[in-house]
């Protein structure tokens, strides 16, 4: 029975191992595979071709807010590099902090926003939340932070 289950598991995972792209065209844009292929990114970086995510501010303080309030801030960033910037993910370790990000490539010199919504329900006192942004930059992680002081409800 164990052998049967192992065989089924292997048949399930083997097709995923052959999921490679054979397209080697390079139209000057960064492919999403570049994010997962450090050697390609290093080659582009050696040639001076990689995006750079530059934030106007990387930390925002909401000040004092009431418990249960939902607040929002949009972090403006600019691609100061010389290749298209592709954001593949943005997340926080807490469900109370929800980021949204552009899904289309950001051209060199162009700007866009990452919006962070913070729900203070169940939070109290000083709050510090970090959002991790995964992109085809080097290094591929970028960080923005929100802070607030949450007043307890009913006081």
pLDDT tens for each residue of 91-114 = 998 899 999 999 999 999 999 999
Asked if pLDDT for residue 79 goes beyond 90, the answer is yes
Per the DSSP assignment, residues forming a β-bridge with 133 are 90, 142
Asked if pLDDT for residue 64 goes beyond 70, the answer is yes
- Which residue shows structure tokens 């930059």? 137
Range of the domain at 118: 55-155
Asked if pLDDT for residue 58 goes beyond 70, the answer is yes
50 within a domain of the structure (yes/no): no
Q: For the domain that residue 153 is a member of, what is the CATH number?
A: 2.60.40.10
Q: How many domains does the chain have?
A: 1
pLDDT tens for each residue of 25-39 = 344 444 444 444 444
127 within a domain of the structure (yes/no): yes
pLDDT of residue 78: 97
16 within a domain of the structure (yes/no): no
140 within a domain of the structure (yes/no): yes
DSSP states of the chain as a string?
-HHHHHHHHHHHHHHHHT---------SSPPHHHHH-HHHHHHHHHTT----EEES-SEEEEEEEETT-EEEEEEEEEE-SSS-B-EEEEEESSTTEEEE---SPBPTT-EEEEEEEEE-TT--EEEEEEEEEEESSSSSEEEEEEEEEEEPTT-
pTM: 0.70
pLDDT of residue 37: 43
Q: Are 50 and 134 in contact (CB under 8 A)?
A: no
More confident residue, 70 or 6: 70
149 within a domain of the structure (yes/no): yes
Q: For the chain, how long is the longest CA-to-CA vector?
A: 62
Give me the chain's average pLDDT, please. Answer: 79
38 within a domain of the structure (yes/no): no
92 within a domain of the structure (yes/no): yes
């Amino acid at each position: 029975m164990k052998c049967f289950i192992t065989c089924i598991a292997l048949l399930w995972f083997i097709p995923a191992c052959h999921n490679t792209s054979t397209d080697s065209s390079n139209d000057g844009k960064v492919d999403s595979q570049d994010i997962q292929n450090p050697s390609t990114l290093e080659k582009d970086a050696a040639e001076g071709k990689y995006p750079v995510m530059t934030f106007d501010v990387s930390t925002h303080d909401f000040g004092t807010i009431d418990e249960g309030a939902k607040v929002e801030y949009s972090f403006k960033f600019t691609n100061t590099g010389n290749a298209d910037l592709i954001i593949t993910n943005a997340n926080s370790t807490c469900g109370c902090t929800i980021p949204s990000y552009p899904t289309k490539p950001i051209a060199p010199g162009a700007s866009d926003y990452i919006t962070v919504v913070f729900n203070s329900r169940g939070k109290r006192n000083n709050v510090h939340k970090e959002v991790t942004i995964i992109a085809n930059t080097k290094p591929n992680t970028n960080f923005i932070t929100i802070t607030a002081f949450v007043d307890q409800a009913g006081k």
